[in-house]
Amino acid sequence: MRVCQRAEGTPQPLKRKKLHSNIGENGITMDDIMIHDETTEDTGIHMMLARMSGDLPVAIGVIRNVKKTSYTQLYEDQMEEQMANDKYKCMDDLLNSGDTWEI
């Protein structure tokens, strides 16, 4: 099995070198393996997996699966809230408000 090595301590910038090895080679154990959790809110590791190329292993499967409200739902909620709080319910309300006159 080919795996990515996890840096000890704080995350280090990726450098162009051999980042994968076989478990059991070069002292690599299961404790050195980074386990990817697709439900993590932070996008850092998701972006790293999505951008792997060249001699790095290819990320296959679900990279990101976070439960969040969609843009469409946020937009619809905002529009409903604005319409509920607005004193103008239709164009006639707007045109007939304030100072009006007939010509």
Contact of 28 with 7, CB cutoff 8 Å: no
**Cα 80 to Cα 100: distance, rounded to the nearest angstrom:** 29
Over the stretch 2-26, which tens digit does the pLDDT of each residue have?
344 444 444 444 444 455 667 788 8
Rounded to 5 degrees, φ, ψ at 22 are -90, 145
Choose the most confident range, by mean pLDDT, from 31-40, 68-77, 82-91. Answer: 68-77
pTM of the model: 0.41
Residue 86, CA distances (Å) to 59, 79, 95 in order: 49, 10, 14
